[in-house]
Amino acid sequence: MVPFSILDLSPVSEGTTIRQSFEGSARMAQKAEEYGYKRFWLAEHHGMPGVASAATAVVIGHVGAATKRIRIGSGGVMLPNHSPLVIAEQFGTLEALFPGRVDLGLGRAPGTDMRTAQALRRNLDAGANSFPNDVVELQQLLDSPVENQAILAVPGNSSHIPIWLLGSSLYSAQLAAMLGLPYAFASHFAPDMLLDALAIYHDRFEPSATLDKPYAMVGVMGSVAETDEEAQYHFTSAQQQFVNLRRNVRGPFPRPVKDMESFWTPMEKINVEHTLRYAVVGSPKTAEAKLDGFLKETGADELIISMPIHDIEARLKSVELFAGLDAFEKTAA
For the stretch 57-81, pLDDT in tens is 999 999 999 999 999 999 989 999 8
Q: Taking CA 134 as the corner, what is the angle to CA 131 and CA 137, rounded to the nearest 5 degrees?
A: 155
Residues in the chain, total = 333
Cα separation of 66 and 212, whole Å?
33
What residues have CB less than 8 Å from 147, skipping those under 6 apart? none
User: Positive or negative CA dihedral for 252, 255, 256, 260?
Assistant: negative
| 49: Cα within 13 Å, side-chain hemisphere | 14
Give the residue numbers spanning the domain of 179.
2-329
Tell me, what DSSP letter sits at residue 168? S
Cα 95 from Cα 156, distance rounded (Å): 8
Distance of alpha carbon 66 from alpha carbon 58, whole angstroms: 13
pLDDT of 260 reads 96
* DSSP SS3 for 134: helix
Report, as ranges of residue numbers, the positions in the chain whose pLDDT lies below 50.
none
Contacts of 278 (CB under 8 A, 6+ apart): 187, 188, 191, 194, 219, 220, 221, 294
CATH code, domain carrying 72? 3.20.20.30
pLDDT of residue 127: 59
What's the pLDDT tens digit per position in 83-114?
Answer: 999 999 999 999 999 999 999 999 987 656 67
pLDDT score of 123: 62
Residue 97 CA to residue 85 CA, distance in Å, equals 18
Which is nearest to 278 in space by CA: 259, 292, 263?
A: 292
pLDDT number for residue 332: 73
Residue 130: predicted pLDDT: 87
Q: State the total domains in the chain.
A: 1
Quick one: pLDDT at residue 108?
A: 87
